[in-house]
């Protein structure tokens, strides 16, 4: 075997994998928002979930892409674990279309048809509005060209006497149909798929080996089963940094294929005989031109039967993966900084990345409202006449929590901004660019809310530690009323961030903001009058108004967040 032939073999394999990747990414960009809507709306039960997985995988031509998208949705809290498992089962069926496409390429030459696709694709790429369609045409053309070249090179290598002898000697070592021989090919299928991260590429090689007669059909079937398990490794690797539910979804993906491999191995002779009967393939007198069709039929029948069998046990699969994958300590620790929805390693389209950032911003906003609630609790503790022992310990502990939350808000702003900047490096639509600009504005304003909360906490702490006179009852009532109004504004903001902006009435926020401004103006006038009437000192009045004014500023930041999400420009 010449070194040139070897390079041609690996080069055509690389071309095949690149074509699959380009085609899948282009389809995801074309249908990104629609796929997101479908995954969110069509997974109400296990049956619609399976149909959704089939449809999405058939659309993007990649079960890995669908599975990673599903894991990302679980990570973002958009899908439950049971919904994700049903989608993954459907993806296993949808991905079998790729094997059928390859079997057709092995039945007749399609390489001549790829050149018009290249020509049309390059024209569309230079047309900005049709660039993604051009990327898709280039992807599918590279896929078919790589597959045709791989087929041609494979047959040439097998025809080479030296290579043919070497391959036959290797496979003759496993000629006897024993359990251990089958297990070895099963493991080879897993390892090969793990190495190239593409079950389609290994399926193509398997079809070549079987179509040339070098590899017996039953050993090719074991490679296919190994490929089915090996392809699940990708989602498990990328889910390692995700939250607990996402890791469970990825592990469920692996468990389903392993369970399928176990039961089909128990009935493999009868199962394979049934497939051969349907296809019209005689194992005793094999027609090598039909071997690729047998492999594609087996791949489809196995995944279809596996789904039909396991669909009734989804709840038990969920319990099993929950038992195996225990929650990380950090998953339930709200006091530690950790992004819940944005994680490194998960493959995303820009649309999915924007969705995860939206979810993370919602989590950021909820933290800020909790932080504001702590400020209210701190004010209540400061009103106690007993400043020693237990009360002082509680006060200091709560102040430390607020201090920690302020650092969390700084870190969240920085991390989300960095993430959005990475997303903005991709080729984005104008709508997506606009969303990213709005989100950068949102996180800046949310961080300002955290700063305001911390300033209020410092003011209260300074008053408490210096043992200055308490506010009078009237002042405490006014501060609490102002904080209640501010909390209403924060609640309305979180309602918007958690829902759809089309369903939100922005006048709710403006009405609360007007109440805050009017109340601040009223208290400002009253404060001057109370100081003149010697109801409290000027210093007391200054500290009192500092808290009132900070609440009013915080309300302004809330309005800015709402306007950013609603797409309203700042005045």
Confidence (pLDDT) at 80 = 76
Question: Each residue of 396-440: pLDDT tens digit?
Answer: 889 999 998 998 888 889 889 888 888 877 667 777 888 899 999
Torsion of CA 456, 457, 462, 467, to 10 degrees: 110
More confident residue, 537 or 146: 537
Distance CA 553, CA 559 (A): 10
Rounded mean pLDDT of 205-224?
A: 82
User: Are the beta carbons of 90 and 49 closer than 8 angstroms?
Assistant: yes
Torsion of CA 50, 56, 59, 64, to 10 degrees: -100
DSSP 61: T
Considering only CA atoms, which of 551, 556, 531, 554 is closest in space to residue 541?
Answer: 531
Confidence (pLDDT) at 346 = 47
Distance CA 304, CA 286 (A): 25
Confidence (pLDDT) at 335 = 46
Distance CA 127, CA 133 (A): 10
Rounded mean pLDDT of 168-191?
A: 75
Domains and CATH numbers, the chain: 3-324 (no CATH), 350-566 (1.20.58.220)
Say which range, 53-62, 337-346, 542-551, has the weakest mean pLDDT: 337-346
What is the overall mean pLDDT for the chain? 80
Q: Report residue 535 as tokens.
A: 């109801």
DSSP 111: G
Confidence (pLDDT) at 17 = 76
Burial of 335 (0-12, 13-18, 19+ CB in 10 A): exposed
Q: How far is the CA of 90 from the CAs of 41, 308, 420, 465, in angstroms?
A: 15, 10, 32, 62
Considering only CA atoms, which of 504, 486, 505, 492 is closest in space to residue 548?
Answer: 486
Instruction: Enumerate long-range contacts of 297-301, CB under 8 Å, 24 or more apart.
Output: 298/221, 298/224, 298/272, 299/96, 299/99, 299/203, 299/224, 299/228, 300/93, 300/96, 300/99, 300/100, 301/271, 301/274, 301/275
Torsion of CA 564, 567, 568, 571, to 10 degrees: 60
Distance CA 140, CA 198 (A): 16
Q: Report residue 411 as tokens.
A: 């870190």
Which residues, 6+ apart, have CB-to-CB distance to 514 below 8 Å? none
Q: pLDDT category, 513, cuts 50, 70, 90?
A: very high
Confidence (pLDDT) at 205 = 80
User: Are the beta carbons of 552 and 516 closer than 8 angstroms?
Assistant: yes
User: Are the beta carbons of 472 and 536 closer than 8 angstroms?
Assistant: yes
Q: pLDDT category, 98, cuts 50, 70, 90?
A: confident
Q: Is the pLDDT of residue 337 over 70?
A: no
Distance CA 298, CA 181 (A): 20
Considering only CA atoms, which of 392, 437, 480 is closest in space to residue 570?
Answer: 437
Percent of the chain with pLDDT over 70: 79
Distance CA 559, CA 507 (A): 10
Q: What pTM was computed for the model?
A: 0.60
Rounded mean pLDDT of 278-299?
A: 82
Q: Give the angle subtended at the CA of 468 by the CAs of 462 and 470, to the nearest 5°.
A: 105
Confidence (pLDDT) at 563 = 93
Q: Report residue 187 as tokens.
A: 């493991």
Question: Each residue of 351-403: pLDDT tens digit?
Answer: 677 888 888 899 899 999 999 999 999 988 887 655 555 678 888 889 999 99
Confidence (pLDDT) at 491 = 95
One-character DSSP codes across 321-363: HHHHSPPPGGGG-TTS---SS--TT----HHHHHHHHHHHHHH
More confident residue, 151 or 293: 293
Distance CA 365, CA 162 (A): 68
Instruction: Name the one residue in this structure whose structure tokens are 């690996």.
Output: 10
Question: Each residue of 246-265: pLDDT tens digit?
Answer: 788 888 888 998 999 899 88
Considering only CA atoms, which of 286, 4, 12, 288 is closest in space to residue 152?
Answer: 12
Which residues, 6+ apart, have CB-to-CB distance to 174 below 8 Å? 181, 184, 185, 219
Distance CA 399, CA 415 (A): 24
């Amino acid at each position: 075997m010449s070194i040139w032939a070897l390079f041609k073999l690996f080069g055509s394999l690389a071309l095949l994998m690149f074509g699959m990747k380009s085609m899948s990414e282009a389809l995801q960009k074309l249908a990104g928002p629609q796929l997101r809507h479908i995954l969110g709306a069509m997974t109400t039960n296990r049956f619609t979930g399976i149909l959704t997985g089939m449809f999405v995988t058939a659309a993007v031509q990649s079960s890995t892409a669908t599975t990673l998208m599903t894991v990302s949705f679980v990570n973002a809290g958009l899908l439950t674990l049971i919904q994700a498992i049903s989608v993954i089962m459907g993806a296993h069926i949808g991905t079998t279309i790729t094997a059928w496409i390859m079997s057709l390429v092995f039945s007749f030459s399609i390489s001549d048809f790829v050149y018009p696709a290249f020509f049309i694709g390059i024209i569309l790429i230079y047309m900005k509005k049709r660039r993604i369609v051009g990327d898709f045409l280039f992807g599918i053309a590279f896929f078919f060209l790589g597959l045709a070249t791989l087929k041609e090179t494979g047959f040439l290598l097998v025809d080479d006497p030296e290579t043919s002898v070497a391959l036959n000697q290797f496979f003759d070592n496993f000629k006897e149909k024993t359990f251990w021989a089958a297990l070895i090919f099963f493991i080879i299928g897993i390892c090969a798929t793990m190495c190239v991260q593409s079950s389609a590429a290994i399926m193509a090689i398997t079809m070549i080996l079987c179509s040339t007669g070098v590899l017996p059909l039953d050993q090719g079937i074991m490679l296919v089963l190994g490929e089915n398990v090996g392809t699940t490794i990708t989602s498990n690797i990328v889910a390692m940094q995700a939250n607990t539910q996402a890791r469970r979804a990825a592990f469920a993906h692996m468990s389903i294929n392993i369970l399928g491999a176990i039961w089909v191995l128990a009935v493999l002779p009868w199962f394979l005989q049934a497939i051969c009967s349907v296809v019209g393939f005689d194992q005793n007198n094999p027609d090598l031109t039909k071997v690729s069709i047998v492999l594609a039929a087996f791949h489809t029948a196995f995944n279809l039967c596996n789904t039909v069998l396991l669909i009734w046990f989804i709840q038990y699969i969920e319990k099993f993966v929950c038992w195996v994958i225990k929650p990380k300590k950090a998953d339930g620790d709200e006091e530690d900084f950790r992004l819940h929805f944005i994680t490194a390693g998960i493959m995303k389209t820009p649309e999915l990345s924007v969705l995860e950032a939206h979810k993370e911003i919602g989590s950021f906003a909820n933290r800020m409202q909790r932080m504001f609630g702590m400020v209210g609790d701190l004010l209540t503790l400061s009103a106690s006449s007993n400043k020693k022992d237990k009360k002082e310990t509680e006060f200091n502990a709560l102040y430390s929590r607020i201090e920690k939350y302020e650092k969390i808000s700084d870190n969240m702003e920085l991390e989300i901004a960095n993430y959005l900047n990475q997303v903005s490096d991709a080729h984005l639509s104008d709508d997506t660019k606009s969303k990213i600009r709005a989100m950068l504005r949102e996180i800046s304003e949310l961080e300002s809310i955290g700063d305001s909360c911390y300033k209020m906490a410092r003011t209260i702490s300074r008053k408490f530690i210096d043992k200055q006179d308490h506010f009078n009852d009237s002042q405490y009532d006014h501060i609490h009323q102002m904080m209640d109004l501010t909390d209403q504004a924060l609640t309305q903001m979180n309602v918007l961030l958690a829902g759809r902006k089309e369903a939100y009435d922005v006048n709710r926020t403006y009405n609360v903001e007007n109440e805050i401004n009017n109340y601040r103006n009223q208290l400002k006038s009253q404060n001057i009058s109370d100081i003149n009437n010697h109801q409290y000192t000027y210093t007391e009045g200054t500290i009192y108004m500092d808290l009132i004014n900070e609440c009013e500023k915080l309300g302004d930041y809330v309005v800015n967040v709402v306007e950013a999400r609603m797409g309203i420009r700042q005045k």
